Amino acid sequence: MVNRYGHWMDTNTVIPLSPSRCLVVFDYYVDIEAIGLEGAELDVYIDEALRDSDKVQQEDEELCRIVQAGLESNGYVAGRYAPELEHGMHQFHVQLHRDVSDLVK
């Protein structure tokens, strides 16, 4: 995944470890010249941005734990997307399937 926030960009690479576990590797990139800060001010900016990013990542991790627990519960039944909420995603995957199927014929 690639996230861009102004002069800041990060990438998140998800590495599957098992059906229910993964490792996420974060890399950060910043356009230092565009920020216009130097020395201690630049250090503070980067430290704050990393701290904010870590907070969001921790929140995302907690959400993933909750979702995974739901997926492993007896109440979860695998099936198609939620039609009212994810129609666009379903259409995208239908079209992707058609395109890939055409390529392998």
CA distances to 1, 23, 39, 74 from 45, in Å = 23, 27, 10, 46
Per-chain mean pLDDT for the chain: 89
CA distances to 15, 38, 90 from 23, in Å = 5, 34, 27
Per-residue pLDDT tens for 19-31?
Answer: 878 898 999 999 9
Q: Bin 94: left if φ > 0, else alpha if -120 < ψ < 50, else beta.
A: alpha
pLDDT band at 101 (very low <50, low <70, confident <90, very high): very high
Stated pTM of the model:
0.63
Asked if the model's pLDDT at residue 38 lies above 90, the reply is: yes
Per-residue pLDDT tens for 40-49?
Answer: 999 999 999 9
